[in-house]
Structure 1
Amino acid sequence: MRFIVLGAAAGGGFPQWNCACGNCRLVREGDPRLRPRTQSSLAVELANGEWLLINASPDILRQIAATPALHPRRGPRDSPIMAVLLTSGEVDHVGGLLSLRERQPLALRATPRVLRVLDRNSIFGALDRRHVRREALHLEEEWSLPGLRLRLFAVPGKAPLYLEHEAGAAEDTVAVELTSPEGRRAYYIPGCHQVTPELRSRIEGAALLLFDGTVWTDDELCEAGVGEKTGRRMGHQPLSGTDGSLAALAWLGVERRVLVHINNTNPLLMDGSEARQHAEAAGWEVAEDGLELTW
């Protein structure tokens, strides 16, 4: 089975259109230590050669164009993408749905709460329900696809900014557990506010972990002069420090560890940076767009 990281950046991408932080300025100048990244999304190959998308970022058309495995191949109007799974209602996870409106048969699955959010916004009616089937996937409910079983499960997080006026729910931030017929497990967790003992126990022994790498330090945006919110206020545990996610995930028996959903301010983005060296010494890879992972 094959995974392709379509987009490795957090919301806004890298460089972010309205940002002149050190990272964004240098990547625009062509600094070879930094490479652009689009917004977070993952493609998973199924046993029948079709593909599942996990999240549909606003950059989805660029991502599909850059990924030959996702190009039409069976006729003049076709796609090997058979389903989209959403892990939240965040704009950077659902915005790309509007670009998948060309009457292509798809299954669209998400928690009941996220589907209700889509139902309340009439613009998502552009996804013709005669072709795009919306199907609820409840927490811990198994979904079987060719050569793959998966579940959504809740992780600590927060509601999208545009829903913060409403009461939060466990379904606001979920992760994906993927299991092969041989019992090998992979986890996709692009957002996580806190690594809990329960989460550690769940992912112990996994073959692959793709995990939230949004910020290196909690006050990173403030220090860069581009925002007032901390990482935790945005729903993301910082990576560094004794109370960071790298420390919380240390010593787990996971075969391969990859950081995704990386904010444009994160020093991890720079090859050779102190943060990159620290993460790599701890056994982590930093994802780039197009990274392929075999299972």
Structure 2
Amino acid sequence: MKVLLLGTAAGGGFPQWNCACRMCAAGLPARTQDCVAISADGTGWYLVNASPDIRAQILSAPQLAAGPGPRDTPLRGALLTDAELDHALGLTMLREGTDLQVWAPQAVSGALRTDFPVREIVSRYGDWQWHDAAGTFPVGGLSVTAFPVSDKKPKYVRSTADGPWVVAYRISDPAGGSMVYAPCLKTWPDGFDELIEDASCVILDGTFYSPDEMSGATAKGVASGAQRAMGHIPIAGPDGSLAQIARHPGKRWVYTHLNNTNPILDPDSAQYKEVLAAGAEAPPDGTVIEI
């Protein structure tokens, strides 16, 4: 199985267009918004989330280049972890794609029919097939298990439908190897240890380094409680993901969905050195992981 990190930043990307905070002004390497592509054979590829940057991400990845026919593409479909705009807006950029397959939790699929009617929009361009992401199901020669992690709804959603509204995916290759993709974790949920138990690689929510990171990072102060309410477990601290990683040695740990305020965006920072020392990493856009 091949995993291509198309984008590794949180919503808004890095640097963020309307921000002059210390990190955005530091001249560090840019990152596009969170999205990966997976393939069992290196020929057919499936997106996991579809970011607003998807066009640039596809064009920057030789693996996803169109061809050999004039309208051929190796993209076969997409899986959505949630209905957040930074994970679903890119679907509109794929509207020219015919016969794409999309998997999403039932509540997410419903929101994309009513609150943000992307399903209706793209249906005017091609015959997409939508599937419920629940339990374990096959995707392009891989086995995918959806694991509910949160009932946090996007701000734009008015629906009162039961969740899950956010899932993680465990993706396994019958030939051997598996990875877990969890870019949005509010907490370290019950059952998550079992989900990742024998996974070769875990791609994890790295939105914030600390629980009070956004306070003072911009002109508008943000309380730590409000930051946690955004639905992202911090990396550091006794309740952070780094403490959990220590209990699972021997895996490849990758942080993604990095907010523009996160100090680990600076590879020379003390915070990133701490992440590396713990056995984790935050690789750049374009990284290929072979499992």
Structure 1 and Structure 2 fold alike (TM over 0.5):
yes
Give the counterpart letter for 1:141 in structure 2: T
Task: State the SS of the aligned residue for 1:38.
Answer: coil
Query: Cα RMSD between the aligned structures?
Result: 1.8
The residue aligned with 1:238 is 234
TM-score calculated relative to the size of structure 2: 0.93
The residue aligned with 1:287 is 283
The residue aligned with 1:127 is 122
Displacement of 1:26: 1.2
Q: 1:180 aligns with which of 163, 173, 179?
A: 173
CA distance 1:99–1:138, shift in 2 (3 Å): closer
CA distance 1:78–1:280, shift in 2 (3 Å): same
Displacement of 1:161: 1.6
CA distance 1:13–1:157, shift in 2 (3 Å): farther
Displacement of 1:2: 1.1
Q: 1:249 aligns with which of 239, 245, 249?
A: 245
1:104-143 correspondence runs (5 A): 104-120=98-114, 121-128=116-123, 131-143=126-138
Displacement of 1:51: 0.3
TM-score calculated relative to the size of structure 1: 0.91
Task: State the SS of the aligned residue for 2:113.
Answer: helix
Displacement of 1:126: 2.8
CA distance in 1, matches of 2:60, 2:236: 32
The residue aligned with 2:24 is 24
Please list the CA deviations of residues 264-285 of structure 1 after superposition, one character each: whole Å capped at 9, or x if unmatched.
0000000110110110000001
Task: State the SS of the aligned residue for 2:275.
Answer: helix
Identity value in percent: 36
Task: State the SS of the aligned residue for 1:187.
Answer: strand
CA distance in 2, matches of 1:220, 1:130: 42
1:137-152 correspondence runs (5 A): 137-146=132-141, 148-152=142-146
CA distance in 2, matches of 1:100, 1:130: 10
Please list the CA deviations of residues 99-157 of structure 1 after superposition, one character each: whole Å capped at 9, or x if unmatched.
111143311111121111111144542313673423222422322422x1111110135
Q: 2:89 aligns with which of 68, 71, 95?
A: 95
Task: State the SS of the aligned residue for 1:119.
Answer: coil
* Equivalent residue pairs, number: 287
Give the counterpart letter for 1:2 in structure 2: K
Q: Which has the higher helix share?
A: 1
CA distance in 2, matches of 1:293, 1:60: 19
Structure 2 segments unaligned to the other structure (5+ residues): none
The residue aligned with 1:159 is 153
The residue aligned with 2:6 is 6
Task: State the SS of the aligned residue for 2:90.
Answer: helix
CA distance in 2, matches of 1:262, 1:102: 30
Does the 8 A contact of 1:153 with 1:175 survive in 2? yes
The residue aligned with 1:208 is 201
Q: 1:83 aligns with which of 55, 77, 99?
A: 77
CA distance 1:226–1:125, shift in 2 (3 Å): farther
Q: 2:60 aligns with which of 53, 66, 69?
A: 66
The residue aligned with 2:183 is 190
CA distance 1:267–1:159, shift in 2 (3 Å): same
CA distance 1:289–1:103, shift in 2 (3 Å): closer
CA distance in 2, matches of 1:40, 1:151: 20
CA distance in 2, matches of 1:131, 1:49: 22
Segment of structure 1 superposing worse, 65-74 or 178-187: 178-187
Segment of structure 1 superposing worse, 247-256 or 15-24: 247-256
Task: State the SS of the aligned residue for 1:150.
Answer: strand
Give the counterpart letter for 2:170 in structure 1: E
CA distance in 1, matches of 2:126, 2:270: 49
Task: State the SS of the aligned residue for 2:134.
Answer: coil
Does the 8 A contact of 1:185 with 1:208 survive in 2? yes
Give the counterpart letter for 1:134 in structure 2: Q
CA distance in 2, matches of 1:98, 1:118: 11
